[in-house]
Chains A and B, each alone.
Chain A
Amino acid sequence: AQTVTQSQPEMSVQEAETVTLSCTYDTSESDYYLFWYKQPPSRQMILVIRQEAYKQQNATENRFSVNFQKAAKSFSLKISDSQLGDAAMYFCAYRSAEYGNKLVFGAGTILRVKS
């Protein structure tokens, strides 16, 4: 079974600075998808960024980018120019490309943004 580990329960960043959230995963599959989801307080979870395992190029969405290291099974999220609205719980998630629709989530990292 796949597992996703987020080793940072909580992180803080100063507004306008850069922060990196860590995620590692364990799988025996070669083809899969990885995601970062953001869950603001009392609001719905939204997709921040996704990475297909077969792509070597790291995904980027505006201020959000990932560092995908397939051999190391590492998938970190970098948030540049942090904004107050980035404060949320961030979940890393894994989805098999072949077997079903299930998302396996990590335990989450609470990101606090200081003004």
Chain B
Amino acid sequence: DAMVIQNPRYQVTQFGKPVTLSCSQTLNHNVMYWYQQKSSQAPKLLFHYYDKDFNNEADTPDNFQSRRPNTSFCFLDIRSPGLGDAAMYLCATSRGSGVEIYEQYFGPGTRLTVT
């Protein structure tokens, strides 16, 4: 049973053309995260939502935006993708309180190619 779903799994976009990546979850978790993972590197947190409260990492470029219209869905918008934005984008979720707050559940990722 899929718990964190990312669509599409592979996305190709043109240099400068806006693109949106989607994440949904069936876990009813409070917190949703977006990570960027470049080839053979560690995932890097871009931002996260705690319910509707948006938390941006200090070094996340302005080119990256996010929306969370409801508990289940979260979107990553890249306004003007550059070649350096080609990466795997991982969505993750976790509880906001309780015993299991520290475990994050990851989706399969969306691999973004910029041409």
Contact check, A43 vs B45: say whether CB atoms are below 8 A apart. no
Q: A91-B43, A100-B55, A105-B43 are in contact. Are A46 and B106 (CB under 8 A)?
A: yes
Quote the shortest CB–CB distance from A71 to chain B (angstroms): 22
Q: A95-B102, A101-B94 are in contact. Are A44 and B45 (CB under 8 A)?
A: no
Contact check, B31 vs A101: say whether CB atoms are below 8 A apart. yes
Distance in angstroms between the alpha carbons of A35 and B106 in the assembled complex: 14
- Is A33 interfacial (CB 8 A cutoff)? yes
Distance in angstroms between the alpha carbons of A107 and B33 in the assembled complex: 19
The total of Cβ contacts below 8 Å across the A-B interface reads: 44
Contact check, A103 vs B104: say whether CB atoms are below 8 A apart. yes
CB neighbours of A105 from chain B (8 A): 42-44
Chain A interface extent, by class:
20 to 34
From B57, B94, B101, B107, contact of A44 by CB (8 A)? B107
Contact check, B42 vs A101: say whether CB atoms are below 8 A apart. no
Distance in angstroms between the alpha carbons of A46 and B50 in the assembled complex: 21
- Is A11 interfacial (CB 8 A cutoff)? no
From B42, B55, B103, B107, contact of A108 by CB (8 A)? B42
Within 8 A of B (CB), among A80-111: 91, 95, 100-103, 105-108
Distance in angstroms between the alpha carbons of A46 and B92 in the assembled complex: 11
CB neighbours of A45 from chain B (8 A): 43, 90, 92, 106
For the complex of A and B, 8 pairs with smallest distance between CB atoms: A105-B42, A45-B106, A44-B108, A33-B102, A44-B106, A107-B42, A105-B43, A101-B31
Please list the residues of chain A having a beta carbon within 8 angstroms of any beta carbon in chain B.
Answer: 4, 33, 35, 37, 43-47, 50, 91, 95, 100-103, 105-108
